[in-house]
Amino acid sequence: MNLLVLLAIILLIVAGHQLLKVIELSRGLKKTKEWQISDADNNLMGKAMLWFMVVFFAFFFWQVNRWMDRSLPPAASEHGVKVDLLWDANIYLITFVFLVTNFFLFWFAYKYRGNSKAKAEFIAHNNKLELLWTVVPAIALAFVIIFGLKYWNEIMAPSNEENKIIVELYAKQFDWTARYPGKDNVLGETDYRQINGSNPVGMDTSDVKGKDDILVRNEFHIPVGTEIELRMRSRDVIHSAYLPHFRAQMNCVPGMITYFKFKPTKTTAEMRKDPYVIKMMAGINAQRAKENKEPVEFDYLLLCNKICGASHYNMQMNVIVESLADFKLWRAQKAASKTVASN
Amino acid sequence: MEGSKSSVQNSGIKLKIYKILNRKQMSTPTTTTLEQEHLAHHEHVHDHDDHEESFVSKYVFSMDHKVISRQFLITAVVMAVVAMVMSVIFRLQLAWPGEKFGFINAMLGDKWGKDGILDPNMYLALVTIHGTIMVFFVLTGGLSGTFSNLLIPYQIGARDMASGFLNMLSYWFFFVSSVIMLSSLFIEDGPASGGWTIYPPLSALPEAMPGSKLGMTLWLVSMAIFIISSLLGSLNYIITVINMRTKGMKMTRMPLTIWAFLITAILGVLSFPVLFSAALLLIFDRSFNTSSICLTFILEAVRLTMWVEVLFCSNTCSGS
């Protein structure tokens, strides 16, 4: 098979070479030089440019339509709505510029196609034109940057909410551990020198504040409508905590603590009833059925978004968003099972 | 053609002199070129005598901006083809995960493409080297090296670049760095695989992943040499544009392309030394036991914990 493909490629190259030779030879017979192009050829090429534009734009719109339902579901956090707004504004702006510039590109290639009777016009300088193509993009870019900065400052402002829920995400090759403060609502101190098999996140054993901390793996719960403050640490290399459905991402850098705050607006159950999500999951499950795999339900995900080693692709954790009452129940259960285990 | 007979007789003697003076001229001139030579004979002979070049100095270690730009072009095209084949391999894997491709096995062998399925480590390595080649060797070296070298002297009316020698060095440093980068594809642990941004500590710790062993050292050495090449080139472009414009070619009259090359070169000179020092610090950390990027005591702790991982946790891949 490989040999056949290789043979086909070699034959293609030889055929191309022969074709070029035929053109060379026929040119010798016709006594024309390669730079002498007839007006008929120019017209053909000019029209071909226009046809190319039509096909190209049709392909573009088909692509947009075809893959539209593969993008992320609507934002499930308060600030995520702003991120989506910014994203949409940028995409519409870029699409508009893309369509306009490409239309002119092909239209001018057609309009100013080679013509043996036309004379070239020499333009040394045009202030108006230069001002136009400098000022318009400058205003557009200023708009993009100012709004981006405004939202960035709002999203990254330190949290001053009273009843925020603190969750520490601890990253290592290749999994996540979430740590909740216990009754005192304060996370215990950590010390990397105390990391060992029974103390995987390096809790400082001399710190009493950490005695009631709750560690969970595989999935962690957060309440809806409450501000969540994530504190991120890493044991080994740089990881990145990425929560795509909440439009949240922050690097986890060894040796420092990074922060991100957000407020979830939809529970997992609500999200599973969202029409977009239902359609998206139907598509995913149809593909899974083809591969003889079990169907899956929608779940919020925490992913690693920075290359961290061989199993980087599989470094993830489920996130369950539920009502505050359900969350407190779950946390109490976890705290109880911890005391049982330690007794 | 009609007057050629007499002109041949006329210049018969001179042709002999020409041949004696110009021994390296291999082909006998045709009648038409003979006529031209007949007109500007003396100049021509002198000109050739001074500038006659061997194959090596004309095409290999050339100081001519046109030849150097072609050298950059050809090297960058070769690198681009390598990078494209890599992207084909890892995108096959991305589009049809778990599918078996004879092509992948044929390209990577049983170690990294067993049964035609791409190894996760090799996937990262291909992404990394593809990105590195595309960003540095094609877009930075290839485009700037080719078009700045070719167009700057032409469009500002200079005879050549400010320093032909530096220009030649710039290309050959680029060539050496390309060879080192390609050689890292053929070593046992595989090439660098921490992503083309090479973030430490993933890139600083040989234990972190197979791609942080010898492959990373070669990547860093290659990149340090690449940066030297890029700096030599950029300095040359800046000096040429500022100093060697022809009469009447004011800065305000320069074509937009030359402005673009000038700004690119200035940005390169501003940013690449920073990258160079970072690469150098990483080389020293990895090969000579310094601790400038990762503090040693943290390194020791990380080594310890990774060792603990291997002993106690079965779900990790770092040890296998």
Whether the predicted pLDDT of B314 surpasses 50 = no
Residue A191 to chain B, least CA–CA distance (Å): 11
pLDDT at B6: 46
Cα distance between residue B83 and residue B86, in whole Å: 5
User: ipTM score here?
Assistant: 0.83
Asked whether the beta carbons of residue A238 and residue B315 sit closer than 8 angstroms, the reply is no
Q: Does B205 reach chain A within 8 Å, measured CB to CB? A: yes
Q: Which is nearest to B211 in space by CA: A199, A244, A309?
A: A309
In chain B, where the domains are located: 4-52, 61-290
Please list every residue in chain A whose beta carbon sits closer than 8 Å to the beta carbon of residue B194: 307
Contact between B302 and B201 under an 8 Å Cβ cutoff? The reply is: yes
Share the mean pLDDT of chain A.
Answer: 91
**B238-245 average pLDDT score:** 95
pLDDT at B24: 45
Asked whether the beta carbons of residue A173 and residue B309 sit closer than 8 angstroms, the reply is yes
Asked whether the beta carbons of residue A174 and residue B308 sit closer than 8 angstroms, the reply is no
Q: Does B312 reach chain A within 8 Å, measured CB to CB? A: yes
Q: Which is nearest to A235 in space by CA: B309, B281, B320?
A: B309
Backbone angles phi, psi at A77, to 5 degrees: -140, 165
Between residues A150 and A27, the one the model is more confident about = A150
B-facing residues of A in 255-314 (CB < 8 A) are 255, 306-313
**B206-233 average pLDDT score:** 93
Please list every residue in chain B whose beta carbon sits closer than 8 Å to the beta carbon of residue A193: 301
CA-nearest residue of chain A to B194?
A307
Contact between A316 and A181 under an 8 Å Cβ cutoff? The reply is: no
**A318-341 average pLDDT score:** 89
Work out the pLDDT band at A2, boundaries 50, 70, 90.
confident
Share the mean pLDDT of chain B.
Answer: 82
Q: Which of A236, A306, A311 sits opposite B317 (nearest CB)?
A: A311
**A142-167 average pLDDT score:** 92
Whether the predicted pLDDT of A13 surpasses 60 = yes
Please give the model's pTM, rounded to 2 decimal places: 0.81
Please list every residue in chain A whose beta carbon sits closer than 8 Å to the beta carbon of residue B304: 195
Q: Using one digit for the tens of pLDDT, what is the confidence trace for B261-306?
A: 999 999 999 999 999 999 999 999 888 878 777 665 565 555 555 5
Q: Which is nearest to B258 in space by CA: B140, B134, B157, B137?
A: B157
Which region among A189-198, A228-237, B139-148 has the lowest average model confidence (pLDDT)? Answer: A189-198
Asked whether the beta carbons of residue B120 and residue A310 sit closer than 8 angstroms, the reply is yes
Between residues A43 and A70, the one the model is more confident about = A43
Work out the pLDDT band at B82, boundaries 50, 70, 90.
very high
Q: Does B124 reach chain A within 8 Å, measured CB to CB? A: yes
Q: Which CATH number fits domain B61-290: 1.10.3230.20, 1.10.287.130, 3.40.50.410, 1.20.210.10?
A: 1.20.210.10
Q: Which amino acid is at A167?
A: V
Please list every residue in chain A whose beta carbon sits closer than 8 Å to the beta carbon of residue B205: 236-237
Work out the pLDDT band at A279, boundaries 50, 70, 90.
very high
CA-nearest residue of chain A to B310?
A197
Work out the pLDDT band at A232, boundaries 50, 70, 90.
very high
Three-class secondary structure of residue B148 per DSSP = helix
Which region among A72-76, A261-265, B8-12, B151-155 has the lowest average model confidence (pLDDT)? Answer: B8-12
Cα distance between residue B202 and residue B207, in whole Å: 9
Buried b (16+ CB within 10 A) or exposed e, A132-161: eeeeeeeeeeeeeeeeeeeeeeebeeeeee
Work out the pLDDT band at B1, boundaries 50, 70, 90.
very low
Q: Using one digit for the tens of pLDDT, what is the confidence trace for B48-75?
A: 545 677 888 888 999 999 999 999 999 9
Q: Does A237 reach chain B within 8 Å, measured CB to CB? A: yes
Work out the pLDDT band at B245, boundaries 50, 70, 90.
very high
Q: Which CATH number fits domain A165-342: 3.90.1300.10, 3.10.520.10, 3.40.250.10, 2.60.40.420?
A: 2.60.40.420
| CA Rg value for chain A | 30
Q: Does A196 reach chain B within 8 Å, measured CB to CB? A: yes
Q: Which of B106, B120, B312 sits opposite A2 (nearest CB)?
A: B106
Whether the predicted pLDDT of B80 surpasses 90 = yes
Q: Which of B103, B193, B301 sits opposite A192 (nearest CB)?
A: B301
**B13-23 average pLDDT score:** 50
Residue B74 to chain A, least CA–CA distance (Å): 19
Asked whether the beta carbons of residue A254 and residue B302 sit closer than 8 angstroms, the reply is yes
CA-nearest residue of chain A to B202?
A237
**B90-118 average pLDDT score:** 89
In chain A, where the domains are located: 39-113+129-157, 165-342
pLDDT at B318: 40
Residue matched to tokens 């494209």 = B84
Give CA separation, B300 vs A101, A335, B210, B285, B297, in Å. 56, 34, 19, 13, 5
Asked whether the beta carbons of residue B316 and residue A174 sit closer than 8 angstroms, the reply is yes
Please list every residue in chain B whose beta carbon sits closer than 8 Å to the beta carbon of residue A175: 315-316
